[in-house]
Chain A
Amino acid sequence: MQSFDLEAQGLRELNATLHAQADDTNQTAWEIDNPKGAHAIAVGLDAPIEVTVKGSTGYYCAGMNQQATVNVTGSAGPGVAENMMSGKVVIEGDASQYAGATGHGGLLVIKGNASSRCGISMKGINIVVHGNIGHMSGFMAQSGNMVVCGDAGDALGDSCYEARFFVRGSVKSLGADCEEKEMRPEHIEILKELLAEAECDAKPEEFKRYGSARNLYNFDVDNAAAY
């Protein structure tokens, strides 16, 4: 286990040290002390390492992550795991706005609640939230799965493309062109896998599925005059 004191050694040193880890590094486990809400902790990692941040983080923790597993024992500020490509990010507490925004791949697990704009413009990332999500979540989401074990706020999935939203609790309102859809066996399978990986004991059968009604993003000749 490698330890790093962020307060003593500084952010630039931390990220440079983590970036220096090669694919075959022997230093696979890292612990970061004293995050104290600092921004951009463990951003841009690209190695199969496991990083545990002991405390709460500020803006953009674990952004652009590839391969690495990042655990945050506290809560995360805005933009956690933004544009993640692969790997896994786990937040033990809550996450602030636009968690997992624009993510292309990997898994983001939030064990508390996520606030507004969770998974905005997601492009293939999987997001599992044990609690609730705030308003405008999944806005313009393109692909990937967002699983919400609690409730969703206003305007879920507004103007979404082909992302899937699974919500166990209530949805305050659906966004434009987002609708409830049938749960088919393949969706139960997806959920089973994601819930297991996110250490969540909710049952797949308890969820409803939401997605695009596909009226908004297809060209419709009747609307030609509007272009």
Chain B
Amino acid sequence: MAESHGEAKGQNPGAHTEADGGGHGGTFPPFDSSNFASQLVSLAIAFVALYLIVSRIALPRVGGTIDARQNKIEGDLAEAQKLKDQSDAALKAYESELAAARSRAQAIGNETREKLNAASDAERKALEEKLAGKLADAEKQIATTRANAMSNVRGIAADAAGAIVQQLAGVTPDANAVNSAVDASLKG
């Protein structure tokens, strides 16, 4: 549309100038009006042809190529971003899984430790009880042994006392009296 104005109107000044300067024959070429019409016609044809080529074919083609490249770049960037997001998510999942596993391991460790502690406590308690029982038995045995020993001591003492009395007094003392005297001295 724009060129057709130029084409149509562009010839007018040429015609005017030619009318004005028709007398100059071998003048300065750019002001030689005799060739204005030829130039205007060829300019109009050339420019309209150029405009049609440019607007119909060339610019859509080059613009399309540029747009396609732009889209490709944007698409690639978007895909890269998507992949990055995916890898970020994977990393996050991995980390959270790792943390969960770690806490689980810790829990298992704690549980095991408690179990083992309880078991060892129980074992120790049982052992202690057994030892306490043995100790009590031993103490009882010691006590009986001692009691036996003491009663033997009493018998020996009574016999010894009876023998001493017989030697000294020549009389055989009453066994009961000796026994009670020994008991009294043992007590004292």
A and B: bona fide binding partners: no
Q: Which residues of B contact A (CB under 8 A)?
A: none
Q: Which residues of A contact B (CB under 8 A)?
A: none
